[in-house]
Structures are given as structure tokens and as C-alpha cells.
Structure 1
Amino acid sequence: MDDLPHLAARCKRQLSRASTCFLTPQATEGPYYWNATIRQNITEGKAGIPLRLSISVIDTNTCAPLVNALVDLWHCDAVGIYSHYIAASQGIAGTGNDNETFFRGLALTNANGIAIFDTIYPGWYSGRATHIHMKVHVGSNVTSNSSGTYSGGHVSHTGQLFFNDTLTDSVATMSPYSTHVITRTRNSEDGIYASANGSVTIVSIIQNSANNYSGAVTVGVNSSATPAPVGGGEMGPGIGQIPPNRNNFSIIMANMTSVILTTTLTSHVGAASALYMSCSTIFFAFLLYI
């Protein structure tokens, strides 16, 4: 751990020399989006391995942290069920939606562009690798701190976060994940992971204890972008429908890996992106260290 300050300093110099900002690949919203409230803890007491997830948001227009953006997060529980779509998650048609809100929430990015969530390591369901959905809302106003509501603004990113398969193999042996007996889809078998270059958004995990994780990921967004929806969407774990976008925010679903470059050639994108993500992990570990 004594080397972390030096590694962090070296990464800062390397990133400065690269002079490069990358847009994180977009991914489909999926069928189970539902607007949530502003809150850090989204577990509502549901079982699973605790995960404190730190999401760093970088504005590719300035290469600086994006402050006061709303990061919108949602994922399934340990056995593949989405709140508000519990019946549909289990393939039960015609029963309508429920009012459950577990594993849904929004958090404001702080002065360092970081939004923090207390959740669990997500579960999985047939046909999809283990993942978390996210959006980044820009220019929204918090209308009530007590009720966690917001208004206005636009969505500048819609994407998905992924997890290392080997780690998920280990998680799958633990309760309550072990009760969900299905053939799990690995990253290499997930079409959305492939089309969205999912390796860029694999969450870096630090194991605090046998049953407690911290995770970090960096997302680059164009804060001024408001493109129209593009392309299709993923199939959910059961029968469902695309829910309405209740705030009339534009949704980014561009199936691309756009890049803003200042001095780095396109052929160097892979190396620079890998540097950026590895340095993000080091900075995260350094923050824990200090």
C-alpha cells in the first residue's frame, strides 16, 4: 500500500501527457427503467454482498470532473429480479407493475465528480451477463431533499457497467446468489457487452472482507449531448415492456465508442483507454488508503 501515492502521482502525469478524453460507450436502456429518488443507499434491506460503488464522471468537453450531475442507477437483486417489474422479471405476463423500488436510486456527483451508492453485488438472469444500468442527468434541479425528487435537465449518457467473470463465479457460490440456479451468461457471451465494448466499464473491485466489497469505475460523458434514441434494446429476464420516460429526458442509445482526441491518434485509443481505467482504479485505492 505504501506505493499507492507514487502510483497515483505517476498516473496523473501519464494522463496529463496523453491529453485525451474518451466518451464511454453507450448501451441500451433495457426494459426495466423507472425513475427513482435521490438517495445513496438503494438496498432497502435486500440480501446480498454489500457493495459501495463509486462512479467518477468526466466531462469530455473539458476533461474535468462533472460536478452536480445526477447519476441514475438500477439493477436486479441477487436472484435476477427488478423492482417495479417483479412479475415481468419472472416471465409472468399481464399482472401489471408493482411499486417496489429496491436497487434504484440517483446520487449527485461531488466536487470531484464522484457519485457514491451503497448497494449489493448484482445478481444475474438468463441471457445477460452480470451488469448494472446507469444514466447521467445533466442540468437537473433537486426540488426536494427530503423526498429525493428532481426536475429538468437532460440525459447525456445511458450505459451499463459490468463485472469480472471470475469474481462473479466466486459470488455465485455464496448465499443468496447460490439459490439462483441457472446457466449464467458470461461477458464473452453477452451481445450487449460486445457491442458496447463492455471491457471499458468493468467495475474495479476491492474486497474489504469476505462479504464486503468496494467498487470504482470512471465514465466519460459529453455533458452537452442530447441525441435521440438509437437502435433497439435488450430483452429482460422475463416478459416486459419498455417503460415510459417520465421526465421526458432524451435517452442516449448510440451503439458506438466515440472518442474526443487532442493529441492521441485513433490507433492509440485502446492503450490510452486501458491507461485511463487502470489509473482510475489506482486513484480509487489511493483514496481508500488516505
Structure 2
Amino acid sequence: MTGNQPAQGPKHKQDLTRRKVVVAGGAAVAAVGVGGALAMTASADEATSTATASSTSSTAEVCYKLTSETTEGPYYIDADKIRRDITEDKEGIPLTLTLKVIDSETCKPISNAAVDVWHCDALGIYSGYESLSTGGGGTAPTDAPSGTPTDAPSGTPTGEPPSGAPSGGTGGGVHEEPTDDERYLRGTWKTDKQGRVTFKTIFPGWYRGRCVHIHTKVHVDGEWTDAGYEGGHACHTGQFFFDEESVLASAEVEPYSTSTTERTTLTEDTIYDQSGTQGGLLKLKYNKKNIAKGVVGSITVGVAPDETNDGT
């Protein structure tokens, strides 16, 4: 069944310095670290674009800039799916996402890290939060109200905003507890000896107030067990972004083309810091005449493994 979860359901743990994931059976964990056909070498061009010759006051060379930290957002679920293919049955343009995680100070790859990724579907809906998501598509409901209200509201609103209310264009907001059992387009996998990890997913859609993006967390100093990943801390919480050319091309393909949600552009987004690769902008490869065949995205993520950046 789509979005199946463990019998008792995932339980979000707000203390992100101790985290444990449970996955049915040990097969997925046993496969962690095995090279796949989707693995690919990080681009030398990308390395050049993010390299810097600056040195710290202690004369230690900094060869990569730290990748920008961002908010976790309200829809994070502590990892409950140890897998590289997070697509499930969601429709959309195939996306192969390859990440290389390195220590930004030493340039050495970070192996055995747990990398989480999660994002909305082609119409802006997040699994686990379908009733709270602000995306949408298709035609307007047939029972939509018409005409002009006969009496205008008066007075000052009282009480608290409803739980799960969108946070406008900030992309932030307090964490929300999941409202359903779906878990598509979410997953966690282990970096290999070269610090690389590859996910198979779909090109994300968009929702109100945000440009097209993918969320990520990098966890280190934990332990991989038969049950999943336990302990450690999040050294990076960030987001990956897509250039306007690719997003406009995707918008011509179904089901993206059926979206009725106004789109926020990359330059309008309040989370992306406009710094290119350092800010999480992906390097993308695809057939410019037919993006529907699939997209390959890659980026090197420079982190400070001794720091805690949980995005909350």
C-alpha cells in the first residue's frame, strides 16, 4: 500500500540529538552503503564554483564554503524510511539526486552520515500533511460559492490562528505533527566512503509562498544498527533549489501543468539566499527539448560536522 508505515506509526522526536528510526525488516539496512547504478561522480565544475582560497585566522585552509543553513520547516518527520527510492507511486518527472557531503574545513568526504530528504509532490502536497499542504491542482470545485457577501465582517479577530496555518512566504513555522500515514517522497540513506548518497525521486512541484525546493538534513556521529540509525546530531539542515529554466520546463508537463497554485520564483523566495551553489542551487542535467525524460541533479554539501544545526 502506498505510504505504508510501521504498525505503530512513526513517532516524531523533538530532541534531534537522539534519534532512532525503525524499519520493517533488516533488508534495507543491510543494503546501506552498497553502490547502485544511479551513483555518479560529483562535477569538477561544481567543486570549482564553490571553492575558495580564503584562509582562517588559524591559517587552516577553507576549500569549500559552508552550505547555507535554513529552517527545517513545519513538515519534517524524523526518518522512518531507510531507502534510496522515495518515489512510491507518485507521478512526475523522474529525478536522480546525488549529494556529496564533505567537511568544509578539511575538504574530506564524510562517510556513514545519515542524509534525510523530503519534498512535496508535483502538485505541492507533502506526505504526512496532506490536509495542511497549500498546493493544489485540477479544476475549481463545482460547489464553489458565488456572488458577493451581503454583510462585511466587523470587530477584531480573537483567539489563535488555526493549527497548521501556512506561514506565508517564510517557509518556516513551528513543527506540525503528522496528520496522515502517507510517507511518499521522504527517505534516509547512508553516505559512502566518498561522502556520496543518491536518491531516486521526482521533480518537486510548488505551493503557495515558496519556490521549488527539496529539504535535507545531515546527521553524524550516530550509529547504524539493524533497526536503522540511532543517536548523533544534525550538523546541517538545508534546502536544495532549482533554476527557473528547469521549473518553467517542468510546468509544461503533466501533472505539474494542472496546478492552480500561484508560483513563487527563485528570486522571490524568502529562504533561498541567492548565493548559487553555496545556497543550495542544484546543478541540473536534462534534455532541454524533453525534460519529461528525467533530470539528474547534483551538489556538494559543505558542512561543519562538529556543530549542531537542526533548523529549529
TM-score by length of 1: 0.69
Residue 133 of structure 2 aligns with which residue?
Answer: 89
Query: CA separation of 1:16/1:26 partners in 2, compared to 1, >3 Å: closer, same or farther?
Result: closer
User: Which structure has the greater CA radius of gyration?
Assistant: 2
1:162 alignment partner AA: F
Instruction: List structure 1 segments (4+ residues) > 6 angstroms apart after TM superposition.
Output: 91-96
**Do the aligned partners of residues 213 and 139 (structure 1) sit closer, same or farther apart at CA in structure 2, a change above 3 Å counting?**
same
8 Å Cα contact 1:55/1:217 also seen in 2: yes
> 1:286 maps to what in 2?
none
Which residue in the other structure is 1:142 paired with? 224
Question: Aligned equivalents of 1:132 and 1:21: distance in 2?
Answer: 22
Identity %: 44
Q: Structure 2 vs 1, CA of residues 16 and 31 (structure 1 numbering), >3 Å: closer, same or farther?
A: closer
Question: Higher helix fraction: Structure 1 or Structure 2?
Answer: 1
Counterpart among 110, 116, 121 of residue 72 in structure 1: 116
Residue 185 of structure 1, CA deviation: 0.3
**How much has 1:111 moved relative to structure 2?**
1.1
Q: List per-residue Cα deviations over 1:93-139 (Å, max 9, x = no partner).
A: 68971011001001111111111000011111010000000000001
For 1:179, the equivalent position in structure 2 comes to 258
| Separation in 2, partners of 1:58, 1:225 | 14
Alpha-carbon distance change, 181 to 109 in structure 1, aligned in 2, over 3 angstroms: same
TM-score (norm 2): 0.64
**Aligned equivalents of 1:73 and 1:21: distance in 2?**
22
Q: 2:294 aligns with which of 206, 209, 212?
A: 212
Q: Which residue of 2 aligns with 1:248?
A: none
C-alpha RMSD of matched pairs (Å): 2.8
- Looking at structure 2, the residues matched to 35 and 96 of structure 1 have their Cα atoms a distance apart, in angstroms, of 11
Query: 209, 231, 239: which one pairs with 1:160?
Result: 239
* In 1, Cα distance between equivalents of 2:104 and 2:117: 21
1:221 aligned residue: 303
The answer for unaligned runs of 5 or more in structure 1 is 228-250, 254-290
CA distance in 1, matches of 2:163, 2:257: 26
Alpha-carbon distance in structure 1 between the residues aligned to 2:69 and 2:44: 28
Are the counterparts in 2 of residues 126 and 182 from structure 1 also a CA contact under 8 Å?
A: yes
**Structure 2 residue 76 is the aligned partner of structure 1 residue 33:** yes
Q: Residue 24 of structure 1 is aligned with which of 57, 63, 67?
A: 67
Q: How far apart in 2 are the matches of 1:213 and 1:198?
A: 19
Q: Distance in 2 between matches of 1:162 and 1:222?
A: 21
Deviations 1:167-213 (A, max 9, x none): 1001001011111122210011111113x746531111111664211
* Structure-1 separation of matches of 2:208 and 2:276: 18
- Give ranges in structure 2 of 5+ residues lacking alignment: 1-40, 55-60, 136-161, 165-176
- Call closer, same or farther: CA 1:199–1:127 in 2, change over 3 Å: farther
Distance in 2 (CA, whole Å) between partners of 1:96 and 1:157 is 23
* Whole-angstrom CA distance in 2 between matches of 1:162 and 1:16: 22
How does 1:1-290 map onto structure 2 within 5 Å? 8=44, 19=61, 20-36=63-79, 37-90=81-134, 97-144=179-226, 149-194=228-273, 197=275, 200=278, 201-207=280-286, 210=291, 211-226=293-308, 251-252=310-311
3-state SS of paired residue (1:87):
coil
> Would the alpha carbon gap of residues 219 and 78 (structure 1) be closer, same or farther in structure 2, given more than 3 Å must change?
same
Q: Shift of the alpha carbon at 1:33?
A: 0.3
**What amino acid does structure 1 have at the position aligned with 2:75?**
Y
Per-residue deviation, residues 209-266 of structure 1 (Å, max 9, x unmatched): 6421111011100011125xxxxxxxxxxxxxxxxxxxxxxx146xxxxxxxxxxxxx
Task: Confirm or deny: 8 A CA contact 1:206 1:213 kept in the other structure.
Answer: yes
**2:64 corresponds to which letter in structure 1?**
C
CA contact (8 A) 1:143 1:151 kept: yes
As a proportion of its length, which structure holds more strand? Answer: 1
